[in-house]
Structure 1
């Protein structure tokens, strides 16, 4: 345990004022959980003053407000630039209480003014129909982290600190949250924080001892072990422990000042160019050990409550059935002496208001916590200079994601001075062919760099750690504080952040309803090394289902793009980097593959999101006999190969090829902004002709998007059917019926021809499938006609 001087740095008046502020925040927190009326207890508390359903979490709230009060004092004295990340999101009423005391809540919600009437509305709305959620949701000014799902607070905090050299992110980590895997890994984020260029994160581990109904691990292990754990993580832990409010105020003031002094010393040394013995500093962190439900009822019905898990949610329940609980609630609330805290009009007294910082120095009003205020558009390179030269479809090969990497290299270069663009990913930047970015930046790395190491640097702007959770958390924090970025990941393992994706999508959806929340840059994913290019790694790496996770979210938030070649991928990349308040999912392969569209053609095609490829079609603009639809690079290749076979063997068959880049165009226009009207859909897919649809992912996804369309019963989808193994690339398509031979057979099954027609072609296709299976088992690679296939008219 680190020793600290016991000298009290605060005057008696300062301590009194901080305590008054803290009591006021606690009072407002309890009021939100319990009261409908009589907010200042100016008459005896009656049952009709209490909410019929008691929802909320008291246990963590007093500790959160205690920290908030002390940060306010430090901000005022130092003119510090600080935001507050509340890991224990259940402490939402505490966060609302503090923003109300600072005045920010009333500024964003003018109907909830500082006064008795406003306080009544504040209380009534919490966890109440038509009101606000119980967490530190977007409704709470100053929040960039809801905490509805635990584990992501610290990675969000570090993401906010990157490239924000003047910002201190105070991140409260609950001891229950500290048991999650994502949080445990995110402690290592300090290995990526550059004190010369980035801001600082001050982690505050809030040990109140209990989760919902159990003790927490970190609260029960010996203090020496706890200290050793965080020293091992690379921190300097500073402890504040106790339950006596007066002593705890003194201790917290001393330790907080000590921590902020250490942060300043680390940054000053790094920014002065002074050499240090270790490349990475030992950043301070605070361990606050206080009772769960601090200052609440000691016992309820003879059972321990304060300092125990029973304080987690609502300590006093069943008030209608138990008048004694109603009496205890009134006694508890009056113990904070509200008559001293609020004036005759019901507003916080001047001394309490004076303890909060002013203007944008208030944590609830800091622009970094409303990052859209700071967001500036990226400088983007021209598309033509990066385009693959395609003089005719299928005349040249390229690695699509490598072309994208060259584009992102120039994005990094053009925005070098602004320092507002980063790339994150789990050790896969080069694997996914973005290695060209290393021409202008390196991977961020604050540990020792060996002579043989490559692409590691203290100033690197590529962030790699083998934790998808941490990567996503970093990027979310970076975006939420006004910057831009891209997340590259193997398609199958993007599932690891399914839940984080859900939380961010919900956050964006909620923000759309809040006029004061300014739009932030979109969260952009590249899903590469995808299902059809993981034949070498096998079944465990073959899963295109992240698309389906994305499609579960609201249409206003999510976009899914499946560009078929490099120039289409360039157009999509340029587009998504210009968007805001969205989640853009791009699925693209890295293999050297045929290119179909010139850059000018790709611009038009991607602008529409869907279209007929007339150069591949044989319908001559007339009504086709069959529509061959495709979405994704490999499905497009197999569709074109199938069309070539059909053209050769059934030259009179009128085939229309429809390629889809923007998957959301398949939805009805009333369901998605990019959706096609029924008339537009019918013009592409006809009203009654068979549609053979080759799709990148699970077939039922297409049926889900199109089930209301006129011609849905004629749409026959081939995609990934959960068949995979370590095999050849083409065999992956054969296993799932997505290959050219199965596509041709699908056409033959559905075109209106006399029985027995085209029997020779059918037998040829079936024979090819048998030949393919025998060949790969003998030679270990695909047949020459597959490897050497070219598009021919």
Structure 2
């Protein structure tokens, strides 16, 4: 409807615009800046969408007021009247909810973004770190017809459409499918026009935005001073941004000075003046402006882009990359424009009392909402001036590039599988190579074969220790000034800092390219919040039939729990794999490649998918090459495999040994050799992706799990007993893999929080999951005498009456 509206408004003069509208006023500084902007655009023959300059500015004032009016009604009103009448107590919601203060601050910002686009004829991308301010985005999108299909089907610029918009907000209603009925959320979701980051985890937008826009694009990042203290790395953008491979970035801090219950730390430190000094110290150029005025935001966006472009063009040498990044500081009190602005009450529900039952609160609402009201006909005229995208041949803001990626490989390089001369469970003849070499080689080959994709490697430290040698040599650490003789470059593609969330943000932000995250397994736990935010949003996109189009991201956990024994228990932690396994398995895929070949096949499969996070638990040490090319492919196809060359008389075995994890498979194979030697029938299976064997919790998982027939081939149903050996804590897998245990007795071994300064075999022993422990548990499950499969010395070591060294564990393992 709005696209067809035509303006009946007379041309607005500069002087008329100066007068402002409603709660929007224009300071002398903003007037001067806007006049300079108008002159420059005119001199450059930039006509934007073809609407008179001050006409569209005046329209923005009205739209900002109307959006604020709509947001306060969305929070409090059960019925919206387009004539702006006072609401009676029965017109209010019984249980108002919302984050109104932040939304009121974001409305001038988002309208200013729309205004900048209309004035320059360019659709920029945007991201908002404070996702709880989504009412601002949804309200402006509704007024301007920038809604997704789901919103447009329910909401309109009419009394009924606006009332439904208000009632859907925090309605908590379920539809006939037992799902949330309303497409509105408390935070940004895939129904939000242009939304691509939930912003529920405060601070993550600030470590991603520098890596979001591709060359030729521009992105406005709306950030909050409350989130600034949440996440380290928010001030590192000048370290990472490069004109050579990045689009323009426009960071804008909404500096309202308050969190939920008190002033922000920034405010307590000295407020805007302190922040200016902080930004200058970290390579930014601060620009302070009026955070109440959409025109001030439009000017800041335009000005920050121009300055960044100019500074990059004037760089003397890329060998010393010192480009100041302009950074907008939008100053306004929390909840500006409505009752109780600037107080702690402004955050959620500024009226303090419920207007549905409190007449004083109702009067407050009506008094302050009236200041925001825009007569409907005048509003329609203003809306029409923002409907001329075709004149500048640009897409609607809901279709901006960063939120609408479709990234694919053009070339899948050939895999370099290692030939297997013999397959046996005899460790004496195993050929060993690090599975991380397959990751290193495979990633670099894929990057080189697909030069259209911008690479980013997020790495907190120790790339070389983690055996990403070739990747580091080719892509190099990104630095401001390179140190001679090291793998460093100002244009490097490896983003490294001793902050796990920040470097992961580089990969999660680079949704237009190809990515990898590599970290010590124990420290990966710090990345969980950022990874989970990506999983949640991607799952929601898939569920509404609009799956994410970014290339799936590997989260590689190496120097893992079992091989990092020398670094104390703090470095021995499988928690991230466990946590990611608890998320939906069709998006959060957790795999345990056991050798070089299975790691190579895993990486190749990963980059043929979109919108998924693959958590890969991979040893960095040399490990036996156990699976052939065909077996590796079968592992990835089926999620697991029964190892035909291991076990003994598997077709009549009463017990099945199941391994999850590379080191765990080695221990199982050692135990299997002893069982075969003693003529005890058993099967040996390996699960590379346990999430495909769980009881599905949603439709996506139901499609992702393996068929029962395949499952029965991997773990024979005739087995009465199952002994599982897991890289993780055993309880996690016992719960996840319940369908495998149905009708069987089961014992699970794994990490039980024991560690210290130990070697690999010592780690297995103290956690009760060495090959000898497997044999003891096998004897218990089968009801046989353990003396038949364990020597006296081995039993003594297990009983704690002698040292296991030289009997079960060895002392000559190499540590790295």
- The TM tier, using the shorter chain, reads 0.7 to 0.9
Residue 36 of structure 1 deviates from its aligned partner by 2.7
Partner of 1:27: 69
- Distance between the aligned counterparts of 1:141 and 1:717, measured in 2? 47
For residues 70-109 of structure 1, the C-alpha deviation after alignment (integer angstroms, 9 at most, x for no partner) is 2223223333342221122221100111222332216553
Structure 2 regions of 5+ residues with no counterpart?
A: 1-28, 39-52, 173-180, 424-428
- 1:219 pairs, out of 261, 264, 267, with 267
Q: Which residue of 1 aligns with 2:286?
A: 237
Counterpart contact for 1:115–1:347, Cα < 8 Å? no
Tell me: CA distance 1:332–1:355, structure 2 relative to 1, closer, same or farther (3 Å). Answer: farther
CA distance in 1, matches of 2:799, 2:761: 13
Contact 1:444 / 1:462 at 8 angstroms: preserved in 2? Answer: yes
C-alpha distance in 2 between matches for 1:679 and 1:347: 64
Q: CA deviation at 1:627?
A: 1.4
Change in CA separation of 1:239 and 1:757 when aligned onto 2, cut-off 3 Å: closer
Aligned partners of 2:578, 2:361: CA distance in 1, in Å? 48
CA spacing shift, 1:516–1:27, aligned 2, 3 Å: farther
1:514-558 deviations in Å (ceiling 9; x for gaps): 335653322321111111100111211001121221122123322
Say whether residues 1:89 and 2:131 are aligned partners: yes
Distance 1:249 1:320, change over 3 A: closer
- Per the alignment, residue 117 of structure 1 pairs with 160
Alpha-carbon distance, 1:44 to partner: 4.4
What residue is the counterpart of 2:753 in the other structure?
722
| Alpha-carbon distance, 1:191 to partner | 0.2
Are the counterparts in 2 of residues 423 and 461 from structure 1 also a CA contact under 8 Å? yes
| Structure 1 residue 14, shift from structure 2 partner | 4.9
- Using a 3 Å threshold, how does the CA distance of structure 1 residues 336 and 668 change in structure 2: closer, same or farther? closer
Report the CA distance between 1:415 and its aligned residue.
Answer: 1.5
Distance (whole Å) between structure 2 residues aligned to residue 193 and residue 772 of structure 1: 61
- Residues 724 and 357 of structure 1: is their aligned pair in 2 closer, same or farther, counting only changes over 3 Å? farther
On the 8 A contact 1:34/1:50 being kept in 2, the answer is: yes
Residues 637 and 83 of structure 1, relative CA distance in 2, 3 Å threshold: same
CA contact (8 A) 2:143 2:383 kept: no
**Is 1:311 paired with 2:316?**
no
Residue in structure 2 matched with residue 174 of structure 1 by the alignment: 224
The CA deviation at 1:713 is 4.9
Alpha-carbon distance in structure 2 between the residues aligned to 1:554 and 1:323: 47
Query: Match of 2:426?
Result: none
What is the match of residue 442 of structure 1? 476
Deviates more, 1:668-677 or 1:187-196: 668-677
Alpha-carbon distance in 1 for matches of 2:614, 2:121 = 38
Which whole-Å CA distance do the structure 2 matches of 1:366 and 1:403 have between them? 37
Deviations 1:142-176 (A, max 9, x none): 12222222111212212213xx1122221122111
Deviation at 1:560? 1.4
Q: Does 1:473 align with 2:500?
A: no
Contact 1:155 1:474 in 2 (8 A): yes
For 2:41, the equivalent position in structure 1 comes to none
- Could you tell me the TM-score, scaled by structure 2's length? 0.86
Matches within 5 A, 1:8-27: 8-9=34-35, 13-27=55-69
User: 1:496 aligns to what SS in structure 2?
Assistant: helix
What is the rounded CA distance, in whole Å, between the counterparts of 1:595 and 1:512 in structure 2? 37
Match of 2:401 in 1: 367
Residues 1:263 and 2:294 are matched in the alignment: no
Determine the C-alpha separation between the residues in 2 that align with 1:348 and 1:309: 33
The change in CA–CA distance for 1:280 and 1:635 in structure 2 (over 3 A counts) is same
Counterpart for residue 178 of structure 2:
none
Do the aligned partners of 1:137 and 1:145 also contact (CA within 8 Å) in 2? yes
- Tell me what 2:23 maps to: none
- Distance verdict in 2 for CA 1:636–1:757, change over 3 Å: closer
Offset at residue 772 of structure 1 (A) = 12
The corresponding residue for 2:810 is 782
User: How far, CA to CA, are the matches of 2:582 and 2:747 in structure 1?
Assistant: 22
Cα separation, 1, equivalents of 2:504 and 2:689: 23
Equivalent residue, structure 2, for 1:699: 730
Residue 188 of structure 2: aligned partner = 136
Gap regions ≥5 residues in structure 1: 298-304, 788-793
Provide the rounded CA distance (Å) in 2 between the counterparts of 1:517 and 1:640: 41
- Distance of 1:461 and 1:757 partners within structure 2: 55
- SS of structure 1 residue aligned to 2:609: coil
Residues 30 and 734 of structure 1: is their aligned pair in 2 closer, same or farther, counting only changes over 3 Å? same
Structure 1 residues 385-420: Cα deviation after superposition (integer angstroms, max 9, x where no partner): x1122121254111111122111111111112x033
Match of 1:210 in 2: 258
Q: Aligned to 2:614, what secondary structure does the other structure show? A: strand
1:300 corresponds in structure 2 to: none
Q: CA RMSD in A?
A: 3.0
Cα displacement string for residues 327-378 of structure 1 (whole angstroms, at most 9, x for unaligned residues)? 33223222223215656xx78642465699977544332132122xx32335
Distance 1:606 1:643 in 2: 24
**Does the 8 Å CA contact 2:146/2:193 hold for their aligned counterparts?**
yes
Structure 2 CA distance for aligned equivalents of residues 750 and 106 of structure 1: 58
How far 1:35 sits from its partner (Å)? 2.4
CA distance in 2, matches of 1:7, 1:203: 19
Give the 3 Å change call, closer, same or farther, for CA 98–772 of structure 1 in structure 2: farther
Paired positions, count: 749
Q: Is residue 2:456 matched to residue 1:411?
A: no
Report the Cα offset of residue 704 of structure 1: 0.2
Match of 2:200 among 142, 148, 151: 148
| Larger mean Cα displacement after TM superposition, 716-725 or 166-175 | 166-175
SS at match of 1:209: coil
Q: CA offsets per residue over residues 411-433 of structure 1, 9 Å max, x none?
A: 111112x0333221212332221
1:302 is aligned to none
Residue aligned with 1:105, SS: coil
Pair 15,674 (structure 1): closer, same or farther in 2 beyond 3 Å: closer
How far is the alpha carbon of 1:282 from its aligned partner?
A: 0.8
1:498-537 → structure 2 map (5 Å cutoff): 498-516=528-546, 518-537=548-567
CA distance in 2, matches of 1:616, 1:52: 66
C-alpha displacement at 1:659, in angstroms?
A: 1.3
CA deviations over 1:35-57 (Å, ceiling 9, x no partner): 23234145542333322221111
Instruction: Work out the CA distance in 1 between the residues paired with 2:517 and 2:391.
Output: 36
Please tell me whether the aligned partners of residues 83 and 375 of structure 2 are also in contact (alpha carbons under 8 angstroms).
no
Taking a change above 3 Å as real, the CA distance of residues 278 and 599 of structure 1, as seen in their structure-2 partners, is closer
Q: Does 1:548 align with 2:594?
A: no
CA contact (8 A) 1:266 1:281 kept: yes
TM-score (norm: length of structure 1) = 0.88
Which of 794, 800, 809 is the matching residue for 1:765? 794
Aligned residue number for residue 48 of structure 2: none
Is the Cα contact below 8 Å between 2:219 and 2:249 reproduced in 1? yes
Residue in 1 that maps onto 2:375? 339
Q: Residue by residue, what CA displacement relative to the aligned partner does 1:750-785 show, whole Å, maximum 9, x if unpaired?
A: 2243xx574573524224658997475999x9256x
Q: CA separation of 1:682/1:763 partners in 2, compared to 1, >3 Å: closer, same or farther?
A: farther
Structure 1 partner of 2:43: none
Alpha carbons of structure 1 residues 56 and 672: separation in structure 2 relative to 1, 3 Å? same
CA-CA distance at 1:720 after TM superposition? 0.6
Cα separation, 2, equivalents of 1:428 and 1:144: 31
Instruction: Spell out the pairing of 1:268-307 with structure 2 (5 A cutoff).
Output: 268-269=313-314, 274-275=316-317, 279-297=321-339, 305-307=340-342
| Distance apart, 1:577 and its partner CA | 1.3
Query: Given the alignment of the two structures, is residue 324 of structure 1 paired with residue 356 of structure 2, yes or no?
Result: no
